[in-house]
Amino acid sequence: MKRAILAALGLATGLAVPATAQDIKVGLLLPFSGVYAALGNDIEAGFTTALEQFGSETPATFEIIREDTEVKPPVALGKAKKLILQDKVDVMAGIVSSGVLGAVRDMVHGAGVPLIVANAGNDEATGAACSPYITRMSFSNGQVNRPMGQWMYDQGIRKVYTLAPDYAAGRQMIDGFAQTFTAAGGEIVGQEFTPFQKTQDFGPYLAQAKSSGAEAVFVFYAGGEAISFVKQYDSFGLKADLPLYGSGFLTSPLYVNAEGPAAEGVITALHYVPTIDSPANAQFVAAFTAKTGRVPSEFAVHGYDAGRALIEAVKAGATDRESLANALRLVSFEGPRGALSIDPATNNIIQPIYVYETVAGADGMTQKVLAQLPAEADPVNGCEMAAPVSN
Amino acid sequence: MSHDIGFWTLQALNALQLSMLLFLLSIGLTVIFGLMHFVNLAHGSLYALGAYFAASLAAVGGYWMGFFLAPVAVAGVGMLLYTGLIKRMRKSGPMAQVLVTFGLIFAMLDLTRIFWGDLALAIEVPALLEGRLAFLGVEYPTYRLFVIALGALILGALAFVLGRTQIGAMIRAGVDNDAMAACLGINVERLFFIVFCVGCALAGLAGAVAAPLLSVTPDMGLQILIPTLIVIVIGGLGSLKGAIAGSLIYGVVQTFGAVLAPQLASVLIYALLAAVLVIRPVGLFPAKG
Amino acid sequence: MFRHNALRYTALVLLAAGALFQALTAEYFGLEILTEILILAILVLALDIVAGFGGMVSLCHGALMGVGAYAYALLSTKAGIAPPVAMAGAIALTGAIAWGIGAICSRSHGIYFIMATLAFGQMGYSYVFEAPIFGGDDGLGGIARLDLGLIGVDLNDSRSFALFCLAVLGAAYGAAVLILRSGLGRSLSGVMHNEQRMRALGLTVWRVKADVFGLSGMIAGVAGALAAQHVMYISPGLLSWTVSGEALVVVILGGLGTLVGPLIGAAAFVLLKHELSAITTYWHLVVGVLLIAVVMSRANGIFGWIEARWGARMERRIADAARKHQPEEVASDA
């Protein structure tokens, strides 16, 4: 069965000839239209920033071919096939939604094309569905939220109400938190999953959270839903009695200015905030701001580190699909997020997590880092990693 | 989980607030349909446009400028649409209309992206309406109470205009039988034009009012379209009574569904719509028997 | 009722030849696009039967296709049923669901029918999105293609799969013509033109509508099962109402109620989409404006326009000929 699928995905008709040694063809597979277009743009800007900044460290040249996934899995798969079979790229990077990653996973694995995941966080991608060709430079849903359980318990919080959109990522984010929070001795007093991208009014859920007897609320929302949620939470005056915690995407730099003062005092955890105090981050923020006029978001840093990882792999001597796949797994460097490395057991990134509070700054909202929680590798989650095989 | 009376009051207010927002949107759509037999799927896009205009205007002259001028601006767009497209499409069947306005959705979605970008915008609640009011024993956000009051005000005004004024009588005559109304010397063409623009203005107003509650994104029009269509089909096309009944039913089902049967929340409303269509294929309060 | 004429035959032959040529010579990406066109063509064929010949403008055909895709995926992966049986099951299930929707909506007309089908489509979308068995937003992967090893065809090869889809499209077209020429199809056309009269003649109108809708649903189910096999991965987006809307766009673009036109529409739409999206991410704007222009032009789509011009020419020729001979019969009736 698996053989059959691989064959259908293109192995049957013979595979690409590697490009000349020092010319690396990169396929960027990102949403440039649809609900995640803003994310796609940030990731692309981060990626090109990295190539501009570190490209001179290697004699290789990089040719970028960008394709729009429209956040539609079938479209994305078609574009991935085009990149692999027609453009014959050496490496692919991007992928924002987990659904899209699920759709292209068998294709890239079967064709043996290295893929640097620059956002999609579903736990399976570096768990049961892991592949030696797929290296994730972004995060996994559980990874971002797991450290928060113990941390909130340590702050003296014992009873929490959770809310998230009703889809895989929402459930994995909340599960990651709930697991460590209850293990530490806390109690989840109520849990609700709201219809994904169909909930305009969070009022009904907020009233429930209020009457649940919780001491705090922990949520995951992203994009437009995050803005609506944070504003509505504030308008009901819940922040004072029932502090709002969450996954850091809730108050991402991409949305926080639309949330405005409503986001003030919200405490969340994420793998990157633009106010991390380090030379590497200062350099990145300066370069990115000069390029786009915006403060970089966590999405921008995914793109940036994906580009950086590619350059590191090329510096290590990789030239074609197979050697790039092998080299990408061994990449480690000090980036804006801190010390990064790849977990050989799952190919997922190992990175520190930052707890931060959103505070009012000189021009708009900004982030105050409260704690840096140590980097931990994800549990293996059923991943059986084989070494890349040669085709 | 035990809930006290305050909890249910709060939820009832939530339901009412959602209903009023939907009412502002659906009334324009339903009267346009009732009078002109025109299906405007792009109504949601006009709502999104209202929110974007309000966001841009608010950035210049504060919330109230957006609140008052966004509906005017959307009515202006409506005027253009009417003279350019709608007028010629009136006699076509529902399918041609559905398709033209489907094309409009596509075009307007990308136009908002070109003009305002992909990033979400937002408007702050004006100082006057910030905070919360004690109301029926619960604390409720002032802005949400404002939305409810505004919806009630528009409902009252429309009921008065449609029921007690000459132009209202003309509109009702047009809904009943436009050919006959034209024979009676009513300038039906001008009536259509006015109603269409007012409908657009109300959609723009809904956008401006919703903007501080939600986020302003290019796809907000698509997201609101389906709920609005459900409202007018449940209520019955063409009538004020239908629009308000449909909005209340939608608001109550969504809000209390989310509380009482969260697993079914999103399927519930579609099931209800199907049930209504089986029992009364033309909705609860259609304009014409 | 549906009739072939010389123009339609010519168009069919040209389309089939073009598709066959493409299937035999195209490179990898060309085959992808061809397969996409063929599957979309099957879907819009199903939609044209109900919308073009029954006046039932459905906004749930995308969802029906999704039902077929999910049914095939679940039956063949989770239930472990052999792919051919799973495909038959998926088609039957989609047909049954479509029959139910058709029966329930049979009393609604015009815009109410459109809205009612939209509601059913959205209901399916919400359900698939949320029920864990369907994999939610992340979708389902690992879907196998049919095994035609018995007749020496390996469908895992892209070229073979494209040819297979072409064959299925041919069969679906034949089925559509048979349906429309059957007693049921004739009743349907009567219902479209005057429902009251057909009722007065003793016809059970709702049964006619439901039966045709069910058969159309089966064809949509075929498209769904093929789509699942083509991509080998499915996600709830397949059921979204915009897919149904796009299918309707294709039918209109090609020519409603011509059966041949929608096939041309499918090819034009997919090619246009690929060309445009390569140039700009704002391709929806272009498609939107184009759609408005086509509908406003009042021509019945691309093929409708050609047919109208051809028809006018033929009429002139017949009028000329009639002076000397008996008028020739233009259309070949069944």
Each residue of A159-173: pLDDT tens digit? 999 999 988 889 999
CA-nearest residue of chain C to B84? C296
* Minimum-distance CB partner of C296 among B94, B100, B108: B100
Lowest mean pLDDT among A76-85, B39-48, B167-176: B167-176
Residue A193 CA to residue C13 CA, distance in Å, equals 53
Residue B102 CA to residue C289 CA, distance in Å, equals 10
Phi-psi sector, C51: left (phi>0), alpha (psi -120 to 50), beta = alpha
- Nearest CA distance, A160 vs chain B (angstrom): 14
Chain A residue numbers touching C28 (CB-CB < 8 A):
10, 13, 81, 85-86
Q: Does A231 touch chain B (CB under 8 A)?
A: yes
Chain C residue numbers touching A7 (CB-CB < 8 A):
154, 156-157
Residue B178 CA to residue B91 CA, distance in Å, equals 12
Q: Does A99 touch chain C (CB under 8 A)?
A: yes
Residue pair A186/A159 in contact (Cβ under 8 Å)? The answer is yes
Question: Under an 8 A CB cutoff, do C114 and B39 touch?
Answer: yes
Out of A114-118, B191-195, B217-221, B257-261, the most confident range is A114-118
CA angle B192, B195, B201 (to 5 degrees): 140
Residue B221 CA to residue B227 CA, distance in Å, equals 11
Q: Does C275 touch chain A (CB under 8 A)?
A: no
Residue B207 CA to residue B51 CA, distance in Å, equals 4
**pLDDT of A13 higher than 50:** no
CA-nearest residue of chain C to B107? C285
- Nearest CA distance, B217 vs chain A (angstrom): 7
Out of A25-34, A377-386, C304-313, the most confident range is A25-34
Q: Does A208 touch chain B (CB under 8 A)?
A: yes
Name, in order, each residue with C-beta under 8 angstroms of C231's C-beta and a sequence gap of 6 or more. A73, A74, A77, A103, C143
- Joined tokens for residue B116: 């305002």
Name, in order, each residue with C-beta under 8 angstroms of B102's C-beta and a sequence gap of 6 or more. B41, C245, C248, C249, C288, C291
Q: What is the DSSP letter of A360?
A: E
What is the pLDDT at residue A246? 94
**pLDDT of B25 higher than 50:** yes
The residue-averaged pLDDT of C110-139 equals 83
Lowest mean pLDDT among A214-228, B173-187, B209-223, C260-274: B173-187
What is the pLDDT at residue C50? 95
The 3-state secondary structure of chain B reads: CCCCHHHHHHHHHHHHHHHHHHHHHHHHHHHHHHHHCCCCCCHHHHHHHHHHHHHHHHHHHCHHHHHHHHHHHHHHHHHHHHHHHHHHHCCCCHHHHHHHHHHHHHHHHHHHHHHHCCCCECCCCCHHHCCEEEECCEEEEHHHHHHHHHHHHHHHHHHHHHHHCHHHHHHHHHHHCHHHHHHCCCCHHHHHHHHHHHHHHHHHHHHHHHCCCCCECCCHHHHHHHHHHHHHHHHCCCCHHHHHHHHHHHHHHHHHHHHHCCCCHHHHHHHHHHHHHHHCCCCCCCCCC
Higher-pLDDT residue of B288 and C200 is C200
- Joined tokens for residue B77: 């767009």
Average pLDDT over chain B reads 87
pLDDT bracket for residue A226 (50, 70, 90): very high
**pLDDT of A240 higher than 90:** no
CA angle C275, A96, C276 (to 5 degrees): 10
Residue labelled with tokens 């915006």: A294
* Minimum-distance CB partner of C137 among A10, A81, A167: A167
The 3-state secondary structure of A196-216 reads: CCCCCCCHHHHHHHHCCCCCE
Quick: pLDDT tens for A299-355: 999 999 999 999 999 999 888 899 999 999 999 999 999 999 999 899 999 999 999
Q: Does B187 touch chain A (CB under 8 A)?
A: no
- Joined tokens for residue B134: 């004690």
What is the pLDDT at residue A3? 44
Distances (CA, A) of B83 to B50, B57, B77, B78, C288: 20, 26, 10, 9, 18
Length of chain A: 391
**Which chain B residues touch C if contact means CB-CB below 8 Å?**
33, 39, 85, 88-89, 92-96, 98-100, 102-111, 113-114, 222, 226, 229-230, 233, 237, 263, 266-267, 270-271, 273-274, 277-278, 281-283
Quick: pLDDT tens for A180-213: 999 999 999 999 988 887 788 898 899 889 889 9
Full DSSP string of A111-172 = HT--EEESS---GGGGTTT--TTEEESS--HHHHHHHHHHHHHHTT--EEEEEEESSHHHHH
What is the pLDDT at residue A173? 93
**pLDDT of C106 higher than 80:** yes
Distances (CA, A) of A389 to A109, A111, A113, A205, A326: 11, 11, 11, 50, 10
Q: Does C58 touch chain A (CB under 8 A)?
A: no
Out of B40-49, B124-133, C18-27, C152-161, the most confident range is B40-49
Residue A283 CA to residue A335 CA, distance in Å, equals 10
Average pLDDT over chain A reads 88
Q: Does B141 touch chain A (CB under 8 A)?
A: yes
What is the pLDDT at residue A95? 93
Q: How many CB atoms lie within 10 A of CB B159?
A: 14
Average pLDDT over chain C reads 87
Residue A77 CA to residue A97 CA, distance in Å, equals 13
**pLDDT of C185 higher than 70:** yes
Residue labelled with tokens 């350059």: A311
What is the pLDDT at residue A390? 45
Task: ipTM value, please give it.
Answer: 0.87
* Minimum-distance CB partner of C32 among A7, A81, A169: A81
Q: Does A29 touch chain C (CB under 8 A)?
A: no
What is the pLDDT at residue A4? 47
What is the pLDDT at residue C333? 46
What is the pLDDT at residue A387? 62
Q: How large a percentage of chain A has pLDDT more than 70?
A: 93
Higher-pLDDT residue of A119 and C301 is A119
Quick: pLDDT tens for A76-119: 888 898 899 888 999 999 999 888 898 898 889 989 999 999 99
Lowest mean pLDDT among A46-55, A227-236, B36-45: B36-45
- Joined tokens for residue A326: 């092998």
The residue-averaged pLDDT of B255-264 equals 83
Question: Under an 8 A CB cutoff, do A106 and C232 touch?
Answer: yes
Residue B122 CA to residue A259 CA, distance in Å, equals 7
**pLDDT of C19 higher than 60:** yes
User: What subunits touch chain A, counting only 3 or more CB pairs under 8 A?
Assistant: B, C
> How would you class B126 by CB atoms within 10 Å of its CB: exposed for 0-12, middle for 13-18, buried for 19 or more?
middle
Q: Does A228 touch chain B (CB under 8 A)?
A: yes
Lowest mean pLDDT among A4-18, A43-57, B59-73: A4-18
Quick: pLDDT tens for B211-234: 998 889 888 888 888 889 889 888
**pLDDT of C79 higher than 60:** yes
Quick: pLDDT tens for B7-19: 888 899 999 999 9
Name, in order, each residue with C-beta under 8 angstroms of A146's C-beta and a sequence gap of 6 or more. A176, A177, A179, A180, A376
